[in-house]
Structure 1
């Protein structure tokens, strides 16, 4: 850690609260600290046009919490065998119920229920209706009632600008500065946009809101055991806040938790592209041996499904996705912006997938073979095995039952005439969930459960979720605990003194 005393380090800037990251959590923290009368600086790693973390490219919706008491029950159910401390559960359950009020009041926007992106006018359904407490789920709320197109991010960015909060883009934080005697976090060392060192004193606290580590292949391999993944969101989510927190003495929690989706890595794009067969389901997943290996369409929530008698992460392995000509012609396998305007490649890179997948085939992103044997050679699997695999699948479709993996009968689409196609699915990481352990007041804890003075965390750098999560939970958690972090950082006094009274309830205060 960088150790210093106030007398032997020249600060370039001194403020009350330093916030690292400009996503939902960081923006909410900065706005709350500013509203409390604090001077605030937000340091954003990415340059203009690429700022905002996954919030920028997410659906931007938060779940509608209709009853905090039942919300606590639902969260406990979703945690399953990986419980979160009760004070954190209760703070989450209470604070997420204030998200809509806070967004409308503080950001001055209109919100409404989201209607299903792929459903005709239906509200977004609960993903785990079988779990106790799921009755609390009241759908999802978003700016203007619409998913994507960076609506929430833009509203948050306006909120920062209208308040005159100092936001410095292309300014990554490098390390936390701690007092050598007390370990109190008293500032941040960063690199300014021009490449020069920047030292900022934080008189009251530093809020880590730096996002996950899904774009850091080493951390993904070490903590998630995924050697071939690709990130869906910001390529800036490389675990910077995790590293700074660990160097400062932080404990970690649920580092093995994540949300993955089907997606493929493509040349020329930093982040992957979502692969979702929305129009026809004539496809199967095969392993490197050419054999079908999973139920391709389990009833899943955001990253977990009931598989093999328990809730498991899905998807959690790299597979070859094989499909036929009829499926290829039925519509884009990756949603276009007019279907689902989310994802880094769509919203930042501006890529729109072709309607019949032909451009991507011509680009070589999708392999093509006139026969299954030819396709097998291209994806390097045994041709005879792949032919037998497809024949077995087609027989299951004809019988109306998948005896291998129990795929739902209404999704059994046989693979018809060639040509045939395949691509390799990562899996693709939407979010990682683990990070520095924090308490209900967003104070980062050391391995002995003691707060590291002056250090707070919120958002995907340290999300609440230890296992299961429902739709709108990531944004909901970031907004809620971002506010808590901002409020508690603003009330804290520097050591030699004592922290202000922590507070975590009441989203519009």
Structure 2
């Protein structure tokens, strides 16, 4: 058993330094609490999925209509009305709060709602992001610097291990953290879990999502640590079967994958392991769901072989590079740049090449006659301009008929999970009877609001909104338990709209030690992979959105894409 390295006491402990954790720590600090922010990863890999995300949040035009939209997106998986209304109100303040941290907030592109047919979608005002640019760690930089400017104790490479509970009341009173020399920290106001999802834990992924070893888009820190701590404290769970995945391809031996998106061409088809085509390859997709057979279903769900020809290979890279889509671990943290004509990936063996469909089938291990017949039927549909089998739009029906032929195996690449400990409108974690577990909070993808469908920019908005809620509520709880122990709150204007002030729920704060790396972040330092990705273009818009990126530096036609 690991040894104990002593104990200490603060007002609030926040576990996880992504968007939710930073928002919680800042909010609690600004309410007058002392805050300890624990980050599992070392400085150069800190920030969870926030660090490699698009860093955008949706522009909530109207709180009442946003509540309607969220109810519509949930469908037959309704949320408590108190959570819906709090989410709708608090996500209205994300832009003004980010601006209060010193950032310039601007729109990016002309993004439309992914579910325009649903009631309430008129609340959706597109993406807002730092400097009007997506990705490249911009949001994480802003949040990290804001933490560094405050008297918040940030400890990197310090994983949260387990919660401490009162034997008399069951309330969460602290946390044990660290590697070999664990340290017990008493949290007078509470512990806020912002530890991210469980996509990097293969056992949890198999149990809750039914996926076997999917490639990962984001941080390896997302191993369900907060989920297990909360469950041991008696937490109920929600949304555990919900997720956001995209088609991805992972190099042999790597857990991280690349988006496999074909944004420059549509001459490709998907086949199952038996060589048969099984779905429209270009469905109306959202952030995790697609409209299939009259309902919204998780998509993609199955591994598949992706077949294309020489025409498509020459059209452009299968996976967008940082100039187009500066997101994802492989691109931002590993610094990989996909070759413009896919030749490097073919040479590396990630993509199979063959002169005939039959030879390609042999490389894939599928029946040659079946794959050949499947490609022939697809090409016949292209010639007819009509896909009777699966309803693929005619404008996307480009034949696969120019040898040589190519294929790679794609899997659902997990961007994030949505399920976790159930929480209420104050971000308090609930037990199976619906009672709040005193002193325990959760925010971000460890306990996402979204029970089913979600739109672009929803996850960052949710993380910041409920991170701030958790921070304020925990800080106020500390003040109520010991009203004379806190310093005065930081005097900063709070975001308001049309004369309405924000709800006064509380959040965690931090104390002041081990801030060397925080000061470095505040000074604007960045890990090497991020330094080499400046000057990128804005992320293109979705295929059905009316306007998109500036292609003046690249004359190739593009299918517009989306960012998680």
Q: TM-score range by the shorter chain?
A: over 0.9
Q: Within 1, Cα distance between the matches of 2:336 and 2:253? A: 11
Asked if 1:23 corresponds to 2:18, the answer is: yes
2:105 is matched with which residue: 89, 100, 111? 111
2:210 corresponds in structure 1 to 225
1:505 is aligned to: 503
Structure 2: distance between partners of 1:38 and 1:286: 56
* Corresponding position: 1:439 with 2:424: yes
Q: Which of residues 270, 275, 294 in structure 1 aligns to 2:279?
A: 294
Counterpart in the other structure of 2:130: 143
Decide whether the 8 Å contact of 2:281 with 2:392 is kept in 1: yes
In the other structure, the counterpart of 1:279 is 264
Q: Equivalent residue of 2:43, what SS?
A: coil
Instruction: Note the alpha carbon deviations across 1:399-447, whole angstroms, 9 max, x for none.
Output: 1111111111111111022111111111101110010000000000000
Question: For the residues of structure 1 that align with 2:351 and 2:240, how far apart are their CA atoms?
Answer: 33
TM-score, normalised with respect to structure 2: 0.84
Give 1:296 deviation, angstroms: 0.9
Counterpart CA distance in 2 for 1:296 and 1:217 is 27
**Contact 1:98–1:508 (8 Å) recurs in 2:** no
Gaps of 5+ in 1: 1-8, 116-122
SS at match of 1:328: helix
Displacement after TM superposition at 1:508 (Å): 12
Tell me which residue corresponds to 1:126: 113
Query: Once the 2 structures are TM-superposed, how far is the Cα of residue 486 of structure 1 from its aligned partner?
Result: 0.5
1:463 aligns with 2:448: yes
Deviation track 1:295-328 (CA, whole Å, cap 9, x = no partner) reads 1110111111211111111111111111111111
Q: 1:506 to 1:316 in 2, by over 3 A?
A: farther
Deviation at 1:456, TM superposition (A): 0.2
Deviations, residues 203-237 of structure 1 (Å, cap 9, x unaligned): 11100000001111111111011124222111110
Q: What RMSD in Å do the two structures reach over aligned CA positions? A: 1.9
Separation in structure 2 between the aligned mates of residue 270 and residue 102 of structure 1, nearest angstrom: 35
- Equivalent residue for 1:315? 300
Q: Of residues 228, 236, 245 in structure 2, which corresponds to 1:251?
A: 236
Superposed CA deviations along residues 11-33 of structure 1, whole A, max 9, x for unmatched, are: 52211000000100000000000
- For 2:5 and 2:323, how far apart are their aligned partners in 1? 51
Q: Whole-Å Cα distance in 1 between the matches of residues 140 and 315 of structure 2? A: 33
1:54 to 25, 49, 64: 49
Counterpart Cα distance in 1 of 2:92 and 2:107: 15
Contact in 1 for aligned 2:28/2:506 (Cα 8 Å):
no
> Once the two structures are superposed, what CA deviation does each residue of 1:44-79 show, in whole Å capped at 9, x if it has no partner?
011111110110000000000000000000000000
Instruction: Please name the residue that 2:175 is paired with.
Output: 188
The 1:246/1:308 distance shift into structure 2, 3 A limit, reads: same
Cα distance, 1:269 vs structure 2: 3.5
In the other structure, the counterpart of 2:386 is: 401
**Counterpart selection for 1:346 from 331, 340, 347:** 331
- Specify the SS of the correspondent of 2:45: coil
State the match for 1:3 in structure 2.
Answer: none
Equivalent in the alignment of 1:490: 475
Alignment of 1:406-417 (within 5 A): 406-417=391-402
The answer to whether the 8 A contact 2:290-2:296 is kept is yes
In 2, distance between residues paired with 1:477 and 1:485?
12
Distance 2:104 2:482 in 1: 42
How far apart, CA to CA, are the structure 2 residues paired with 1:435 and 1:15? 26
Q: Distance in 1 between matches of 2:50 and 2:417?
A: 14
Q: Do the aligned residues in 2 keep the contact of 1:301 with 1:470 (CA within 8 Å)?
A: yes
User: Contact 1:95–1:506 (CA<8 Å) still a contact in 2?
Assistant: no
Show structure 2 runs of 5+ residues with no match: 484-500, 508-564
Equivalence for 1:365: 350
Q: Which residue matches 1:449?
A: 434
Of the candidates 91, 97, 100, which is equivalent to residue 92 of structure 2?
97
**Cα distance change of structure 1 residues 206 and 287 upon mapping to structure 2, 3 Å threshold:** same
**1:78-127 CA distances to partner (integer Å, 9 max, x unpaired)?**
0001001000000000000000000001x201010011xxxxxxx11111
**Hey, what's the Cα distance between the residues in 1 that align with 2:299 and 2:278?**
13
* Residue number in structure 2 paired with 1:119: none
Please give the residue correspondences for 1:254-273 in structure 2 after superposition, counting only pairs within 5 Å: 254-267=239-252, 269-273=254-258
> What does residue 148 of structure 2 align with?
161
Answer yes or no: is the 8 Å Cα contact 1:188–1:202 preserved in 2. Answer: yes
Distance change in 2, residues 1:178/1:304 (3 Å): same
The 3-state SS of whatever aligns with 1:397 is helix
Query: Matched residue of 2:423: which SS?
Result: coil
Alignment check: 8 A CA contact 2:245 2:288 kept? yes
Q: CA deviation at 1:266?
A: 1.3
Distance 2:506 2:188 in 1: 24
How many residues align? The count is 488
Moved more, 265-274 or 374-383: 265-274
TM-score, with length taken from structure 1? 0.93
Q: Which moved more, 1:262-271 or 1:126-135?
A: 262-271
SS in 1 for 2:44: coil
SS of alignment partner, residue 246 of structure 1: helix
- Cα distance, 1:268–1:432 mapped onto 2, change above 3 Å: same
Q: Is the CA contact (8 Å cut-off) linking 1:480 and 1:507 kept in structure 2? A: no
Cα distance in 2 for residues equivalent to 1:160 and 1:167:
8
Q: Please point out which of 140, 156, 161 is paired with 1:174.
A: 161
